[in-house]
Amino acid sequence: MEKKYSVAIYPSQDVIDAVKTMKDYLKSKINWYNSCNSVAHITICEFTISESEIDKYKQKLFKICDTFTPFQVYLEHFGAYENSGAFFISPNEISKDKLKPILKKTQETLKPLTLKKSDDPHLSIARRLTPENLKIASQLFTTIDIHFLCCEIVLRELDPIKKQFFVIDTFSFGSNPQPELIQGSLF
């Protein structure tokens, strides 16, 4: 049976709680919206495969995460993708520069799967907002300064009834960088 999976970075519980408070406050102002009930996360990718294949990809995720080293992520401003109605918290540039290789290497590890990828790390507050609701969100939330230690990624499975992802596995960063293979010459 095919299932939908998501690979993501979860922030610390403090950040998850703070984002939930923001989502609930926005919901009190504009009513229900897409992702109002989802747990705070930074999406790496999503894919659909047969349940029987997932263990093979769990092994790949374990191996790549063993090479990553934990680092602080600083979330310092809000942003929006006007074309998709997304309102989000964005990491500062230094954090983005550290997150992008994690996203890219994780996505490369999951080849040959067909991935719905994210290449701009961000933590969504809301998705598919109308232009009016996007304006309300940007007026409600103007400053932010929170951070968390990025030290693992999670594999989530979609609950088709609740239409929410739930964590099925966690892969800790092992701080064991693999040596880069360098093409040498014999002479």
Q: In sequence order, what DSSP letters do the residues of 41-72 get, joined into one string?
A: -EEEEEEEEEGGGHHHHHHHHHHHHHT---EE
Tokens 């999503």 identify what position?
A: 46
Q: In the prediction, which pLDDT does 178 show?
A: 72
Give, for all 187 residues of the chain, the pLDDT tens digit: 999 999 999 999 999 999 999 999 999 999 999 899 999 999 999 999 999 999 999 999 999 999 999 999 999 999 999 999 999 999 999 999 999 999 999 999 998 999 999 999 999 999 999 999 999 999 999 999 999 999 999 999 999 999 899 999 999 999 998 765 555 555 5
Q: In the prediction, which pLDDT does 76 show?
A: 95
Measure the CA–CA gap between 72 and 63, rounded to whole angstroms.
21
What is the arrangement of strands in the sheet containing 116-117, beginning at the earlier edge strand? 116-117, 42-50, 2-9, 152-159, 164-172
Q: Which residues contact 1 (CB under 8 A, 6 or more apart)?
A: 50, 51
Torsion (CA) 39, 5, 174, 178 in degrees, nearest 10? -140
Q: In the prediction, which pLDDT does 184 show?
A: 53
Measure the CA–CA gap between 149 and 160, rounded to whole angstroms.
31
Measure the CA–CA gap between 43 and 28, rounded to whole angstroms.
25
Q: In the prediction, which pLDDT does 177 show?
A: 81
Q: In sequence order, what DSSP letters do the residues of 71-119 get, joined into one string?
A: EEEEEEEEEEETTTTEEEEEE-HHHHHHHHHHHHHHHHHTTTS--EE--
